[in-house]
Structure 1
Amino acid sequence: MTLLKNIFLFLLMLALQQVWAQDTEQTYKKRVLETTEVDFLWSYYSQDGDNAAVSGGRGTEELTDATGTIIVSIPLNDDDVLTIDAGVSAYTSASSSNVDPFDKRSNADPFVASSGASQSDTWVNLTGNYSHSSDDRNDIWSAKFSVSSEYDYFSLGFGGSYTKLFNEKNTEASINANVYLDKWTTIYPFELRPFGENGIGFFRPEEITGNTNYNPNFSELDQTNRNSYSLGLGLSQILHKNVQGLISFDIINQQGLLSTPFQRVYFSDVDDSFIENFQLADDIERLPDGRLKFALGGRLNWYLNEIIALRTYYRYYFDDWGINSHTANLEVSVKLGDKFTLYPSYRFYNQTEADYFAPYETHVSTEKYYTSDYDLSEYSANQYGLGISYTDIFTKLHISKFGLKSIHLKFYQYDRDTTFSSSIITAGVKFVMD
């Protein structure tokens, strides 16, 4: 009797243990994000060159921009995370100041900045992203909404993504889609405004030299909106315990106003007119109202050992405007102890020119589409970078209730085989709430 009682108690304990284990397995799961994280990001960008699109492919491209961003990631529960991204960018541009080059004390000149209102502006952006992960963390859904604005531009965006992990999380497939609805406030080169429908602005015919019979065949744009639709596919695979690969495909369809209203074009078959040292526009940039873009990319990350990791990337891009481009990037991550990492990088880029591009005073007035924006020209570029990061997973340093998790600092130098060059320095600090 005692033996049967002991066997019964033993089986009962096994059954209760199994029920408890199943219940624990069903109810316990690791949170997607343990605690609130806050990122403070800052960047300073400067550029220069001699092919400003505002002045028809010649003139200063000098510009400086300072940007500050705060990103707050909040765990709503075990499965859901809300991320809010807010940024402000303030720039000063010698190029865009020459939308109206005739409002400064010195002579108007495409290589000299004007002092008008268009020389500087502020861009603001707010993005919200909500993500949900399944109990087994193999399915992730996300949705986002964004709004951004500057003096002549306003944009609304929304989108979503889905990620599926399988093969014991060694394989990851993803799809994302986004829509951006943008609207321009059409600001035209100053000298063309009297020839538009509203006849606004001030014009000084008595000061014209060269062709004194300045009479451009200018008409205002009949649309001010631009809609962009994008779809992206990605497939990531762990190929070896130290090697991970990824391939991606993106397609973007843009419709609406795809040219910039204040960018000038000069024709070779029209006599030149000047005020002071500034050539008056023959017309503004004109481009098709549709553009289809495709990009196919691949990444290969190779962790050589505990100290060195290689990150490589290649992308091929083409569109129906005639541009084909290749991008290749290499970054080497070098650990300098437990907390510091150094990562030098190199990026190469080249592209063919768009069907509608031609340099300063090369287009003819009988063409339907034309631009002298060197971003659409044929060129090659090299970018060299160096970054350093500090990471403390134990967040020993605290400021109030926030522990310092990481700091990074990066510098990039970018040079085209034209006269254009730029540099950017970025810094970021991440805190986590205790």
Structure 2
Amino acid sequence: MVNTNTASKKSNKAPNIKAALSIATSALLGTSVLTAGVSQAEEADEWQFDSAFLLYSETDRVSATEAIIAGTKVFDNDEILSLKLTVDALTGASANGAVVQPNAQTFTRPSGSGQYVTPAGETPLDDTFRDTSVQLNGQWTQPLSDNITGSVGGHFSKEYDYLSLGVNGNLAYDFNKKNSTFSMGLSYFQDTFTPEGGIPKPHSSMLVGDSSSPEWDGEFAKTRTGKSDDKSTADILLGFTQVINRRMITAFNYSYSMVDGYLTDPFKVVSVLNRNGLAQDYIYESRPDSRVKQSTFMQAKYHFDDSLLNTVADVSYRYMWDDWGINSHTIDTRFTMPVGAASYIEPHIRYYQQGAADFYQPYIIEEQAPLGFVSADYRIGEMTAVTVGAKYGVSLNDGDELSFRLEYYRQTPTNAGFTELSALKGQDIYPVVEAIIAQVSYSF
């Protein structure tokens, strides 16, 4: 796909579709190095910088701030160097997976040191959620022949309990007078988890009691399997881009992803209830150690004529499915509309619908202790989500651009067919998650 979600600061340049496609393929492989303006050719030996500051805030839950600085330089022979630095900080409360109860619940913190209490009728949230990450991405793109463009890149990400290293490469082949392009991309990531408190033993009970007792450390250690674990991810992406006419361009992609290793969330538990629905125990979740994901993606961009104020419509659809039983549909729509001679507004609507994983259960009954995989994480449950908002951008002196984005996000988990027990009647088992997203961007 060609990324033209935001206006380039040098919009009078001719589109460099081949370079843009190569960079966009890297983005779909999870190594995006640009935030805006990649669809336009820049003057050789000049750097273009894109910066952004984003605030994401869920109601009574997680808040995140993100700072991004990305730089792109085009050399005389159409070689492109792209670099990106991202710094994230997350704070707030995160759902631990346990189900809401009509009475107060006590949980042990992931470190094994200290406990917290969730009041009756409230979703259990661990309010000690803290994280800071630094991510670096780099990409080198260059023509290999008149019709072939190659690109290689690297990825580094570090959090206090997580390290990710990755490489990628892709090729783009132009034909049909450069109006058609086939592309293929490969990437590989190696990640290491070192969660606070270690790796929980699947299905083991959360230890709850006096953490100052002499036996505590030994009993807590029995619920752990080690201090760290790894996972690897290999992705392949096949793409086709077609320029229909001077106003319209389309893109079609297929991706295949294989993930192996530790895929369980070490901070999530599952409530074990009696027949009345009252919690008797909390066990650590267990997920498969492999996952195969596939997706198809279709996108069309259309530039309307002057009668519609030069509006650019960008519509995309993505379907994803995997061997965990999850499938999802995503429809994303943007309209970029000029406002006066030097500014634009971009309304945005995104709809997402997801089915539950085969092993998803919001809780389990104590007579039905799990023998296999189980997780109560709402993120792999059945849900719908809607994002609505708009972006406003204005061109400044020397072609610089300043933009503001404000969006509202609403995620609605739903019952995937589980019977509601008596003690849970009237309780909010599937709470709605709402968030505000605000971003300020500056390109220069």
Please point out which of 129, 132, 153 is paired with 1:119.
Answer: 129
Please point out which of 246, 250, 254 is paired with 2:251.
Answer: 246
Letter in 2 for 1:122: T
Flag the 1:217–1:63 CA change in 2: closer, same or farther, 3 A: same
- The aligned counterpart of 1:227 is 232
- The aligned counterpart of 2:349 is 346
Separation in 2 of the partners of 1:271 and 1:362? 9
Contact 2:45 2:73 in 1 (8 A): no
1:375 and 2:379 correspond: yes
The offset of 1:105, in angstroms, is 9.9
Letter in 2 for 1:168: K
Please point out which of 326, 330, 337 is paired with 1:327.
Answer: 330
Contact 1:74 1:83 in 2 (8 A): yes
Contact 2:109 2:116 in 1 (8 A): no
SS at match of 2:94: helix
- The aligned counterpart of 1:267 is 272
The offset of 1:31, in angstroms, is 7.4
In terms of mean alpha carbon deviation, does 321-330 or 414-423 score higher?
A: 414-423
The offset of 1:86, in angstroms, is 0.9
Flag the 1:65–1:31 CA change in 2: closer, same or farther, 3 A: closer
1:416 and 2:411 correspond: yes
Please point out which of 203, 206, 220 is paired with 2:211.
Answer: 203
Contact 1:189 1:263 in 2 (8 A): no
Letter in 1 for 2:176: N
- The aligned counterpart of 1:358 is 361
Identity of aligned residues (%): 22
- The aligned counterpart of 1:82 is 81
Please point out which of 329, 335, 339 is paired with 1:336.
Answer: 339
- The aligned counterpart of 1:26 is none
- Structure 2, unmatched stretches of 5+, are 1-40, 97-106, 414-431
Flag the 1:114–1:261 CA change in 2: closer, same or farther, 3 A: closer
Separation in 2 of the partners of 1:221 and 1:32? 53
- The aligned counterpart of 2:299 is 299
The offset of 1:71, in angstroms, is 0.8
SS at match of 1:413: strand
The offset of 1:149, in angstroms, is 0.9
Separation in 2 of the partners of 1:150 and 1:326? 30
The offset of 1:127, in angstroms, is 1.1
The offset of 1:220, in angstroms, is 2.3
The offset of 1:380, in angstroms, is 1.3
The offset of 1:142, in angstroms, is 0.9
Q: How does the TM-score come out when normalised to structure 2? A: 0.72
Q: How does the TM-score come out when normalised to structure 1? A: 0.74
Letter in 2 for 1:410: R
The offset of 1:359, in angstroms, is 0.7
Please point out which of 37, 49, 61 is paired with 2:48.
Answer: 37
- The aligned counterpart of 1:46 is 57
| CA deviation vs aligned residue, 1:120-158 (integer Å, no higher than 9, x gap) | 22111111111112564x322111111111111110011
- Aligned-residue Cα RMSD (Å) equals 3.6
Flag the 1:84–1:280 CA change in 2: closer, same or farther, 3 A: farther
Matched residues, number: 363
- Within-5 A mapping of 1:160-179: 160-179=169-188
Contact 2:270 2:284 in 1 (8 A): yes
The offset of 1:82, in angstroms, is 1.7
Contact 1:407 1:430 in 2 (8 A): yes
- The aligned counterpart of 2:192 is 183
SS at match of 1:375: helix
SS at match of 2:273: coil
Letter in 1 for 2:370: T
| CA deviation vs aligned residue, 1:279-309 (integer Å, no higher than 9, x gap) | 7863212000110001011111121214212
- The aligned counterpart of 2:263 is 258
